[in-house]
Structure 1
Amino acid sequence: MRTVAELAGKWFAVLVVLGGVAGLLAPTALAPIADQTPLFLGIIMFGMGLTLRGSDFGLVVRRPWAVLLGVVAQFTVMPLLAWGIGHLFGLEGEAMIGMILVGAAPGGTASNVIVYLAKGDTALSVTLTSVSTLLAPLLTPALVLWLAGSQLDVTYGALVTSIVQIVLFPVLAGLLVRAFAGGLVERYMLPYLPLVSVLGIVVVVAGIVAANADAVLSTGILVALAVILHNGLGLLLGYGVATAARLDEAARRAVSVEVGMQNSGLAASLATTYFTPAAALPAALFSVWHNVSGSALASFWARRPVVADDRRAAEGASTLQP
């Protein structure tokens, strides 16, 4: 099982692509899985909570600059990129609104899994996801109104409830189990958690692709290219901003993934609720692509262990063992 877990981590990107292919080949059978995405992510988050210790979050509290930088980058880089790329590709109407909705969304919960597998600062990633989601009811409508001239009525309570159920509660539960049964967790569970994370993401991707199979197959190449460029530049600029701010390598990986991976499920929900299904197309494509690109990036970084730039970086990375 240890060998299987290691292979799953190394070939994460390939497995995610196979999951997407399965979704296209059997959409009717796999589409219902999409409705269970919060459950699967909750299980994955619990597993990640088992890898963390209270000291990891203490490290984040002692580095508020990293959290502030990540949140500011989240709500500036991606919305502006969405607006710029949309105009560059000549997107109009619902397609343009859909791009901006994706850009203005908070960080995706799956980003925490990608950061964990990439040997990044998982505690920072979880914090950035939580903070950006809590700020989304205020910032997402404002950004959409500013960039697209449209106004959204976003329910604050629904967003808070979602992030608490999917991220905070499972992670805290994992932390508590690790605190009270650390020896057992480290000996019998930690070596196999990468396998749980990989299989969870593969199943989620298969469900998302299956649920949007018609849209994925019928969409124009223009929107697909715009989505790919949006995600790729987000990952690159996120890493660049963190590097310019002189954050350690583990934190750079976390900020990069947090900026580049969006809560596209939220964007799709807002699009179908307040606009039309056509506005949800960029979000549907982003749901597939950012998991593939994130998986590939995680596989790349997983083969390159974090090298401590200083003592603080070494402390932050010490618990991120797969």
Structure 2
Amino acid sequence: MPAVGSITSRALGLPPSLSAGLILLGCCPGGTASNVVTLVAQGDVPLSIVMTVCSTLAAVFLTPLLTKILAGAYIPVDAVKLSFSTLQVVVAPIMLGSSIQTAFPSVVQFVTPFAPLMAVLASSLLACSVFSENFVRLRSTIADASSVNGDFFSGDIGVVMLSVILLHFAGFFVGYAAAAIGGLKEKQRRAISIEVGMQNSSLGVVLAAAHFSSPLVALPPAISAVIMNIMGSTLGLVWQYITPSGSENETTDIHNA
């Protein structure tokens, strides 16, 4: 995904700040919404959760490192500060959740049946919040940049949307294709496709706003917060009505056992 972000930004000729934002988005770990979409798509949910956890923990080091390597050619990147912010945003909630589950198991057991619905609502509200909080500020910045030096015109926002769509589409496609080439079953293919295609765009917005001087860096992650959830949800709904091949055999084997 970082490589796709870099290639896409070069192919579309995005300005430096927007290129850095798209690369930063590609360097983010898998989003938590991917687990819910995998559940809807009849994919392998445990695999999706393991992938999310692994990419989230690795993001503390890999997100700053890859952003520094790929986006450092466009604008200055402080990898150390990015690493600390990533640690606060993605690792601290995991530790808090694990602590609550250990300390209050009865409460967790009571809440668990409502967790999927709560996750969908929380993800939707978070996506809307990320986009709305940055829209006015980003729009004014775009207008200022256009009037001052013509670096980026508001009419070109469609190109940014296209770059985000291409990034996520590539993730869905390459993830599924790689799993198929690896000989994995349909449920695993769906899980990997969704996990690769859906990024933690909220983390991208937080890092962009905290560590980059230009608000334009936050534009690709902010747009992704909406587009990614639409693409992922649509894919999940399509797969919901297509039973994964091999599922019938697994059910028969369980009955026989």
Fold shared, TM-score > 0.5 on shorter chain: yes
8 Å contact kept, 1:111–1:261: yes
Aligned to 1:228: 165
1:296-320 CA distances to partner (integer Å, 9 max, x unpaired)? 1111111123333798xx49xx9xx
Aligned to 1:304: 242
Runs (5+) with no aligned partner, structure 1: 1-77
8 Å contact kept, 2:175–2:193: yes
Aligned to 2:147: none
Provide closer, same or farther for how the CA distance between residues 243 and 298 of structure 1 changes in structure 2, counting only shifts above 3 A.
Answer: same
Aligned to 1:249: 186
Superposed displacement of residue 80, structure 1 = 0.9
1:24-48 CA distances to partner (integer Å, 9 max, x unpaired)? xxxxxxxxxxxxxxxxxxxxxxxxx
Counterparts of 1:237 and 1:171, CA distance in 2: 32
8 Å contact kept, 1:119–1:305: yes
Count of residues in correspondence between the two structures: 232
Provide closer, same or farther for how the CA distance between residues 305 and 165 of structure 1 changes in structure 2, counting only shifts above 3 A.
Answer: farther
Counterparts of 1:216 and 1:198, CA distance in 2: 28
Runs (5+) with no aligned partner, structure 2: 141-153
Counterparts of 1:138 and 1:193, CA distance in 2: 30
Aligned to 1:135: 58
Provide closer, same or farther for how the CA distance between residues 300 and 168 of structure 1 changes in structure 2, counting only shifts above 3 A.
Answer: farther
The residue type equivalent to 2:80 in the other structure is D
SS of residue in 1 equivalent to 2:80: coil
8 Å contact kept, 2:17–2:216: yes
Aligned to 1:54: none
1:100 maps onto 2:23 in alignment: yes
8 Å contact kept, 2:82–2:207: no
Provide closer, same or farther for how the CA distance between residues 99 and 164 of structure 1 changes in structure 2, counting only shifts above 3 A.
Answer: closer
1:51-106 CA distances to partner (integer Å, 9 max, x unpaired)? xxxxxxxxxxxxxxxxxxxxxxxxxxx11110111011001210111111111111
1:277 maps onto 2:204 in alignment: no
Provide closer, same or farther for how the CA distance between residues 83 and 273 of structure 1 changes in structure 2, counting only shifts above 3 A.
Answer: same
Provide closer, same or farther for how the CA distance between residues 119 and 282 of structure 1 changes in structure 2, counting only shifts above 3 A.
Answer: same
Bigger Cα Rg? 2
Provide closer, same or farther for how the CA distance between residues 301 and 132 of structure 1 changes in structure 2, counting only shifts above 3 A.
Answer: same
RMSD of equivalent CA atoms: 3.3
SS of residue in 2 equivalent to 1:242: helix
8 Å contact kept, 2:29–2:52: yes
In structure 1, which of residues 65, 79, 82 is the aligned counterpart of residue 2 of structure 2?
79
